Amino acid sequence: MLEFDKLSLNVPTTTKKRVVIIGGGFGGVNVAKNLDSRDFQVVLFDKQNYHAFWPLLYQVATAGLEPDSIAEPLRKLFGNKADFHFRLVRVTGVNPVEKSVKTLIGDLHYDYLVIAAGSKSNFFGNKEIQKYAFPLKQMTDALNLRSQLLQCFEQASITRDPEIQQSLLNFVIVGGGPTGVEMAGSIAEMRKHVLPNDYPGLDFSKMNIYLVEGLDRVLPPMDPESSKTTHGYLEELGIEIKLKTLVDTYDGETVVLKTGEQIKSQTLIWAAGVTGSMIDGIPAESIERGRILVNEFNEVQGLTNIFAIGDIAYMKGGDPAFPNGHPGVAQPAIQQGERLAKNFGQLVRNRDMQPFRYFNKGNLAIVGRNRAVADLPGGVHLGGFLAWVTWLFVHIFYLIGFRSKLVVLSNWIYRFFTYQRGTRLIIRPFVRKDDKVAQEFLVKNEMV
Amino acid sequence: MLEFDKLSLNVPTTTKKRVVIIGGGFGGVNVAKNLDSRDFQVVLFDKQNYHAFWPLLYQVATAGLEPDSIAEPLRKLFGNKADFHFRLVRVTGVNPVEKSVKTLIGDLHYDYLVIAAGSKSNFFGNKEIQKYAFPLKQMTDALNLRSQLLQCFEQASITRDPEIQQSLLNFVIVGGGPTGVEMAGSIAEMRKHVLPNDYPGLDFSKMNIYLVEGLDRVLPPMDPESSKTTHGYLEELGIEIKLKTLVDTYDGETVVLKTGEQIKSQTLIWAAGVTGSMIDGIPAESIERGRILVNEFNEVQGLTNIFAIGDIAYMKGGDPAFPNGHPGVAQPAIQQGERLAKNFGQLVRNRDMQPFRYFNKGNLAIVGRNRAVADLPGGVHLGGFLAWVTWLFVHIFYLIGFRSKLVVLSNWIYRFFTYQRGTRLIIRPFVRKDDKVAQEFLVKNEMV
């Protein structure tokens, strides 16, 4: 790597309006895609060079899909777009007065700024849990977790200490939302179909999967009927569900619940919440509950020409049907991105922007083979095989890139018939977060 | 990770003969596969949990295939084999007197020991080159190299210093054997079909690919006719070939050739040679030129009940048609593994072992689309489209595991029609080898 001072952003000057987008997720990509290159120069910043299909991240963590199957290089996505400039660099701040974005290798002036930086795991201030738990937000999280799961079984099969073995075979998932439910289901299916054959010496009746949720039902964002169906599916798969339960502490060895109950476990998976990946320079009064307050046009409260979309945006009261903001899933980000691009088109023509209105296409969650739930528009609730097939079609349909679709499809067809998981490879050894040397390396490379 | 003292190898005692295999490559896997579980208990050690199809590693390095596509978990390969025990642990030495293998978590007695540890990059004692060059032997090497290649283009597009830009766009490949030729060809095809679209701001006429070989032709192990054809293909793709040329030094910035010529380059790819991954405890008199001397039964010279196969074995004079040993490719390892397993079967029946005779099925090398060469038995030499199709069929046929075949096929079909490479993702940032902190981490985790 070259030193930063030998680099510069090198974006060509332009007479067009320059739209700078921070983040190549669902929101950012959909702004860029829908901007007309005749009217706008588009500059996209991301510290990763790919756009990933995060709803399938849990399948990477559980060895069902390769990382590459759920990701597309950003340069490939926009290879045919004129006056589009991708820069692989971390944004360090925003200066609304100078209308510029700061990066590690220089500043850049914007006419319109779109903050689509997404969200990160929220540990609600619990430093100890943050240190030892496994989050599941980034590609590296999924690879770490995959290595951890597999190493637990490898080690469980070579220890003679029954207490240690049990702690290796106890998996605690915190958070009963879609990610937690899907992780729990996926691990349970591995236990049923894959692991006994891989580890013939291990007694898998000893393996426990706990799903811990603070509220009184799993999948709180979905319809109570779907929650109930899901609860049944999880129990069928032998997952122990603890509702109205919070985690107190975790020291890497013992999970202590607020009820006082203790579970010895080497693996605590944290799927309990997210918070916005905040950018320096946004005034405190524009931030609420870790997200950026925006009006009905996704314009940041108190600032001009700065917009926020997707997970990081909090449209408080702006959308009549969603007065408390939108759910932190792909669809609001996609739709806000599309709307914002159109609004920029309006602005350069001196026309009025249109307010954003979220169209809820429905919610889906999958527990395992033939077990899924769907809340569709019009109050339709599907379960079982029908919801499962819906889930498959929707996810294949929305996967970006023909190649990914083909590879994922062939993986899934293969898995359906063989019950196998192909990608059980430990490519990068996992290291404990209290390992100072490794930690320094990870921090330095922004892998945490 | 648990401390090592809490673990033990935990291999069940047995009345059968115990065969301990070090290494899950082509050699080791083929011994294990062909041993009868009624006669033998098989214990396989590897520090990776997967068997990889190394001939396609260069495609991982050049973003053509995912790592997972060319690898199969060892436990999956042997999921149905009785009395087979895989242990994910590094072997630290052998004690031929006590007939035991030492590992990080304990020792294990063997009746027969098979050393199939393979080879590693050989820098011929040049520490500076070793420090800065990119080898291509392991999965992590391929991922590092993939990140490096992509980061070079990212940085070349954001530097205004023409000298630095040139050094980012110069790629020097050392070694004109199959790996070097295939890497050079693959990078050249990226330059032709993928990169100009990904980096519209970069002038790719400035990009140079150098292939440096010490002998007087490329692909020295192949027939001179195939070398000549390959030379022509490489030149058609715009690769600058330097024959009878050795590298003197490389400081991470400038490649100095023995001729005195200097090339500024951020990327030196080392494909110039390999040496055996030696195990402690093998007496010096049993080692020659970095490999373990074996007789015609692959028995290690001077030791009993210890055998070496594949890259690490040197059958000096044992095989009449190959008095100087066998080439370090997959086929000899596979055939030696098969032969050795049969010989173990002979031994338990008190019958004589059969000497190993290598059957050369031919050699293949690929430069790019429609450009390959094949030396087939009977002095047949193919080139062009015919050799290319042969290469495709042979590689798909030998790829282990139905899933990998399916995924690789769908990747290749996709690439054939679109000229795209799907997996251009920088998942793990690359770090310079002189970065102390990162280095310590890598060493500790045996990622180097």
Please report whether residue B59 resides in a domain: no
Residue from A3, A98, A128, A182 carrying the catalytic annotation? A182
SS3 state at A31: helix
* Same domain as A212, residue A177: yes
Indicate which of A43, A49, A65, A418 best probes the interface with B, i.e. most B CBs within 10 Å of its own CB. A49
Region A130-155 average pLDDT? 89
| Nearest Cβ partner for B425 among A71, A79, A403 | A71
Q: For the CA atoms of A208, A212, A216, A218, what is the dihedral angle to 10 degrees?
A: -70
Selecting from B10, B403, B424 the residue whose C-beta is nearest the C-beta of A73 gives B424
Going by DSSP bridges, is the β-strand pair A134-135/A119-121 parallel, antiparallel, or unpaired? Answer: unpaired
Q: What is the ipTM of this complex?
A: 0.84
Q: Is B201 on the interface with A (CB under 8 A)?
A: yes
Distance from the Cα of B44 to chain A's closest Cα (Å) equals 13
Nearest Cα to A161, choosing from B104, B90, B10?
B10
Q: A14 — contact with chain B (CB < 8 Å)?
A: no
For B281-428, strand residue ranges (E) read 287-288, 291-293, 306-308, 313-314, 363-368, 371-376, 380-383
Same domain for B113 and B180? Answer: no
Taking only the tens of pLDDT, chain B with its 448 residues reads 445 566 788 899 999 999 999 999 999 999 999 999 999 999 999 988 899 999 999 999 998 888 888 888 899 889 889 999 999 888 989 999 999 999 878 899 999 999 999 999 999 999 999 989 999 998 888 988 988 898 899 889 988 889 999 999 999 999 999 999 999 999 999 999 889 988 988 999 999 999 999 999 999 989 999 999 999 999 999 999 999 999 999 998 999 999 999 999 999 999 999 999 999 999 999 999 999 999 999 999 999 999 999 999 999 999 999 999 999 999 999 999 999 999 999 999 999 999 999 999 999 999 998 999 999 998 899 999 999 999 988 888 888 766 677 777 777 777 677 766 655 555 554 555 455 655 554 444 344 3
- C-beta atoms surrounding B320 within 10 Å: 9
Active site residue A261: no
Judged against a pLDDT cut of 90, whether residue A404 lies above it is answered with no
Nearest CA to B398 among B322, B335, B340, B308? Answer: B335
pLDDT of residue A356: 98
Q: Closest by alpha carbon to A32, among A87, A71, A103?
A: A87
What is the extent of the structural domain holding A331?
A: 4-47+89-121+275-348
**B257 & B131 share domain:** yes
A222 domain-assigned: yes
pTM, rounded to two decimals: 0.88
Question: Are A14 and A83 a contacting pair, CB within 8 Å?
Answer: yes
Asked if A65 contacts A423 with a C-beta cutoff of 8 angstroms, the reply is: yes
Which pLDDT tens digit goes with each residue over A260-283?
Answer: 999 999 999 999 999 999 999 999
Cβ–Cβ contact A8 with B under 8 A: yes
What integer pLDDT is reported at residue A160 of this predicted model?
A: 81
Residues B181 and B211: beta-carbon distance below 8 Å: yes
More reliable by pLDDT, A160 or B314: B314
Q: Which of B2, B72, B441 sits opposite A438 (nearest CB)?
A: B441
Indicate if the pLDDT at residue A426 is higher than 70.
no
Instruction: Tell me: do A38 and A94 sit in the same domain.
Output: yes
Q: Contact B59/B186 with Cβ under 8 angstroms? A: yes
**Which CATH number goes with the domain that contains B117?**
3.50.50.60
Instruction: Show the 3-state SS of A179-238.
Output: HHHHHHHHHHHHHHHCHHHHCCCCCHHHCEEEEECCCCCCCCCCCHHHHHHHHHHHHHCC
What number is the average pLDDT over the span A153-157? Answer: 90
Contact B8 A197 (CB under 8 A): no
Residue of B371, B323, B356 lying closest to B219 (CA atoms)? B371
Q: Is A36 on the interface with B (CB under 8 A)?
A: no
Q: Which residues of A touch B424 (CB under 8 A)?
A: 49-50, 73, 75-76
**How would residue A165 be classed by pLDDT, with cut points 50, 70 and 90?**
very high
Q: Give the pLDDT score at B448.
A: 37
In the set B72, B182, B189, B299, the catalytic residue is B182
What 8-state DSSP symbol labels residue A354?
A: P
Read off φ and ψ for residue B287, nearest 5 degrees: -115, 135
Nearest CB to A440; choose among B161, B197, B437 = B437
DSSP string, A55-120: GGHHHHHTTSS-GGGGEEEHHHHTTT-TTEEEEE--EEEEETTTTEEEETTEEEE-SEEEE---EE
Residues A258, A168, single domain; the answer is yes
Which of A348, A377, A396 lies at the terminal end of a domain, its last residue?
A348
How many angstroms separate the CA atoms of B337 and B330, rounded? 11
Domain harbouring B181, CATH code: 3.50.50.100
Would you say residue B74 lies in a domain? Answer: no
B429–A446 CB contact, under 8 Å = yes
The pLDDT of residue A65 is: 84
List % helix, strand, coil for chain B (3-state, nearest 5). Answer: 35, 25, 40
Identify whether residues A300 and A334 lie together within a single domain. yes
pLDDT for position B277: 95
Is A235 part of a structural domain of the chain? yes
For A16-66, what is each residue's pLDDT tens digit? 999 999 999 999 999 999 999 999 999 999 988 899 999 999 999 998 888
User: What DSSP string describes B203-266?
Assistant: -GGG-EEEEE-SSSSSSTTS-HHHHHHHHHHHHHTT-EEE-S--EEEE-SSEEEETTS-EEE-S
> How many angstroms separate the CA of residue A117 from the nearest CA in chain B?
18
Q: What is the pLDDT of residue B442?
A: 42
Task: Please check whether residues B331 and B437 belong to one and the same domain.
Answer: no
DSSP string, B152-171: HHHHHTT---HHHHHHHHEE
**A420 CB within 8 Å of a chain B CB:** yes
Question: Are A225 and A284 members of one domain?
Answer: no
From the centroid of its chain, how far is CA B324? 21
In chain A, the number of structural domains is 2
Angle at A151 between CA A146 and CA A154, to 5 degrees: 135
* Secondary structure class of B438 (helix, strand, coil): helix
To 10 degrees, the CA torsion angle through B344, B349, B352, B353? Answer: -10
CA dihedral A405→A406→A410→A413, nearest 10 degrees, is 50
Chosen domain end from B290, B313, B348: B348
Residue A199 lies in a domain: yes
Are residue B256 and residue B165 in the same domain, yes or no?
Answer: yes
B83 contacts chain A (CB < 8 A): no
B139 shares contact with chain A (CB less than 8 Å): yes
Residue of A425, A427, A447 lying closest to B429 (CB–CB): A447
- Contact between chains at A76 and B198 (C-beta distance less than 8 A): yes
Is the CB of residue A410 less than 8 Å away from at least one CB of chain B?
yes
> Is A379 within the bounds of a domain?
yes
Q: Helix B224-236 crosses helix B178-193 at what angle (to 10 degrees)?
A: 20
Q: Which residues contact B261 (CB under 8 A, 6 or more apart)?
A: none
Residues 6+ apart with CB under 8 A from B303: B96, B282, B283, B286
- Mark whether B198 and B229 lie in a shared domain: yes
- Does the pLDDT at position A382 exceed 90? yes
Q: What is the pLDDT of residue A144?
A: 84
Let me know: does B361 contact B255? Beta carbons within 8 Å.
Answer: no
A260/A398 same-domain check:
yes
Query: Residues A194, A207: one domain?
Result: yes
Name chain A contacts of B76, Cβ cutoff 8 Å: 197-198, 420, 424
* Domain limit, last residue, from B348, B382, B409: B348
The answer as to whether A56 is a domain residue is no
Cα-flanking dihedrals φ and ψ of residue B207, to 5°?
Answer: -80, 130
Quickly list H helices, B78-194.
127-132, 139-156, 162-169, 178-193
A2 touches chain B (CB under 8 A): yes
- B/e letters for B235-248, b = 16+ CB within 10 Å, e = fewer, are eebebebbeebebe
In a domain, A354, yes or no: no
pLDDT at site B67 = 86
* pLDDT surpasses 50 at A81: yes
Q: What is the C-alpha to C-alpha distance for residues A172 and A266, in angstroms, rounded to an integer?
A: 9
What is the mean predicted confidence (pLDDT) over A277-304? 97
